């Protein structure tokens, strides 16, 4: 099973090599090299047989604790999504990073983080998962710090403190699980059997702490504040993967914790489930409200991520098939849409220098293709059929209405609807003002920008995907159904 190491070692080794040779300071050489590494890693991820029953133990610490790799359907789902999106954003970054300093350092860490994320997806148990989860924080920190400005350093500190603090809460919970339960590799449906009633109450407390801790990366209240701080200062390709993919690592870890370790049945109907639902819905609403009032473009998109990723967490907290389906559909759709939105922001900033939404009047006259792509992303995120966001939100509402959750049956869909209206309120005016700036607008200022194909092509691909995934969602749903087997 040494093949399990390839998706981890290839990008990590590829990134580390970039620090060793001065030849990578040549932009053409570096871009060809990074493109080759991304292509190889994506090909490996797409071709590795994750269905093979086997594991690879790297370090046996005790009889019950080890660092072990193992792959399953959930691994494939997240690894394939990550590798494809990482490659698309990487191609965009080739042109974008020409306008930044320290390009080699950026791409080196960009590759390293890709490998660490693969390690998270291939972790066989909670201890291995925690190790790669912490490594992800440390290796992605340079992407936030990249410009080394005062604002970037401050944002990096907040990102680090929030992430380590959240992980510490989760580590306490992992310790308790290891001492009270017969710990095994991740198992569909969980590995916790019957435990004494006195221990059950304490275990529920630690499970809730773990949800809060791991939820930090997913932007769950009250540890969400790092997102709107880190995104505006990072280069736009870094903002894209932070929002579209790294936040999903928190989602992935919670799936492993609840559905493959604790077991959905253990918390179903308990105060933990209802508290998780409540925090998710609160975050959905607060994130949308903050995005609606925010004027800085990338910060607005970051608050939007806070809200939209909690759609996923709400679906997972329902602990039923429709909620789970809606959650994983939204993982894919949000990754595509939000990566696209941050890449749009990057193109606007690079070619016009505009960072505030109030200054975007007439922007479609200068960058028509970019703003058309933005419009498709906006419609999909709002949930206008047949775009992708509608499908995932439909399943999330079904999961809430069909469950026995009391007032949450109606409160959940209501908050999702309010959030969708707010999403329309903070995204669509950019399109309207961009194409129709008004009679008093000075059109002589609208000199058309010639945007690089390396930026345009990824945007067009993502915009098409944002629509087509909503029209043809069945192939994604089939993958989700394979993941769901035995966990509910």
> pLDDT by residue (tens digit) across 177-219?
887 776 678 888 887 766 766 778 888 999 999 999 999 888 8
Q: Which of 207, 232, 260 is the last residue in one of the domains?
A: 260
Query: 180 and 278 share a domain?
Result: no
Contact 349, 434 (CB under 8 A): no
**pLDDT for 315 beyond 90:** yes
- Per-residue confidence (pLDDT) for residue 101, from 0 to 100: 82
Query: 359 and 223 share a domain?
Result: no
Total tally of structural domains belonging to the chain: 2
Write phi, then psi, for 223 (nearest 5 degrees).
Answer: -110, 40
- Per-residue confidence (pLDDT) for residue 441, from 0 to 100: 72
Query: 26 and 93 share a domain?
Result: yes
Query: 239 and 286 share a domain?
Result: no
Stretch 374-399: mean pLDDT, rounded?
Answer: 93
Contact 19, 102 (CB under 8 A): no
Query: 453 and 427 share a domain?
Result: yes
Query: 212 and 292 share a domain?
Result: no
Stretch 126-151: mean pLDDT, rounded?
Answer: 91
What is d(CA 37, CA 39) in angstroms, rounded to the nearest whole number?
A: 5
Contact 241, 85 (CB under 8 A): yes
Query: Band of the pLDDT at 174, cuts 50, 70, 90?
Result: confident
Stretch 62-76: mean pLDDT, rounded?
Answer: 85
Q: Which of 260, 293, 309 is the last residue in one of the domains?
A: 260
Query: 187 and 312 share a domain?
Result: no
Stretch 386-395: mean pLDDT, rounded?
Answer: 92
Stretch 362-391: mean pLDDT, rounded?
Answer: 92
- Per-residue confidence (pLDDT) for residue 227, from 0 to 100: 84
Give me the chain's average pLDDT, please: 89
Would you tell me how many other CB atoms lie within 10 Å of the CB of residue 292?
Answer: 19
Query: 368 and 247 share a domain?
Result: no
- Per-residue confidence (pLDDT) for residue 317, from 0 to 100: 94
Q: Which of 221, 244, 260 is the last residue in one of the domains?
A: 260
Query: 255 and 316 share a domain?
Result: no
Query: 294 and 368 share a domain?
Result: yes
pTM over 0.75: yes
**pLDDT for 35 beyond 70:** yes
Structure-token pair, residue 182: 């017969």
Domain membership of residue 142 as a residue range? 1-260
Query: 399 and 463 share a domain?
Result: yes
- Per-residue confidence (pLDDT) for residue 52, from 0 to 100: 64
Q: Which residue has the tokens 């967490």?
A: 313
Structure-token pair, residue 188: 């569909």
Query: 205 and 283 share a domain?
Result: no
């Amino acid at each position: 099973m040494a093949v399990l190491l390839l998706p981890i070692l290839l990008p990590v080794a590829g990134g580390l090599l970039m620090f060793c040779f001065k030849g990578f300071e040549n932009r053409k050489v570096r871009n060809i090299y990074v493109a080759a590494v991304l292509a190889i890693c994506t090909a490996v991820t797409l071709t590795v047989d994750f269905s093979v029953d086997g594991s690879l133990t790297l370090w046996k610490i005790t009889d019950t604790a080890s660092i072990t790799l193992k792959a399953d359907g959930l691994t494939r789902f997240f690894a394939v999504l990550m590798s494809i999106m990482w490659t698309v954003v990487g191609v965009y970054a080739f042109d974008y990073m020409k306008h930044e300093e320290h390009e080699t350092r950026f791409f080196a860490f960009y590759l390293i983080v890709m490998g660490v994320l693969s390690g998270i997806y291939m972790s066989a148990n909670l201890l291995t998962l925690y190790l790669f989860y912490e490594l992800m924080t440390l290796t992605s920190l340079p992407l936030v710090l990249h410009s080394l400005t005062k604002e970037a350093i401050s944002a990096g500190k907040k990102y680090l403190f929030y992430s380590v603090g959240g992980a510490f809460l989760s580590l306490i919970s992992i310790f308790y699980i290891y001492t009270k339960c017969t710990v095994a590799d991740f198992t569909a449906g969980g590995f916790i059997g019957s435990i004494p009633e006195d221990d059950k109450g304490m275990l529920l407390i630690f499970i809730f702490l773990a949800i809060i801790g791991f939820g930090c990366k997913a932007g769950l209240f009250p540890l969400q504040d790092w997102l709107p701080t880190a995104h505006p200062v990072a280069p736009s390709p870094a903002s894209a993967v932070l929002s579209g993919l790294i936040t999903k690592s928190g989602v992935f870890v919670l799936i492993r914790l609840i559905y493959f370790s604790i077991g959905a049945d253990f918390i179903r109907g308990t105060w933990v489930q209802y508290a998780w639902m409540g925090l998710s819905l609160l975050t959905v609403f607060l994130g949308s409200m903050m995005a609606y009032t925010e004027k800085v473009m990338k910060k607005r998109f970051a608050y939007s991520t806070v809200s939209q990723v909690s759609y996923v967490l709400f679906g997972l907290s329902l602990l039923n098939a429709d909620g789970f389906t809606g959650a994983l559909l939204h993982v894919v759709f949000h990754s595509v849409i939000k990566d696209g939105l941050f890449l749009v922001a990057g193109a606007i900033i690079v070619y016009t220098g505009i960072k505030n939404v109030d200054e975007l009047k007439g922007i479609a006259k200068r960058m028509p293709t970019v703003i058309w792509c933005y419009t498709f992303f906006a419609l999909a995120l709002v949930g206008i059929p047949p775009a992708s966001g509608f499908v995932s939100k439909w399943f999330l509402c079904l999961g809430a209405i069909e469950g026995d959750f009391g007032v949450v049956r109606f409160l959940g869909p209501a908050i999702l609807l309010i959030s969708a209206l707010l999403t329309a309120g903070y995204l669509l005016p950019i399109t309207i003002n961009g194409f129709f700036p008004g009679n008093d607008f000075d059109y002589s200022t609208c000199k058309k920008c010639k945007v690089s194909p390396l930026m345009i092509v990824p945007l067009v691909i993502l915009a098409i995907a944002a629509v087509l995934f909503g029209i043809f969602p069945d192939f994604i749903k089939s993958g989700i159904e394979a993941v769901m087997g035995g966990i509910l």
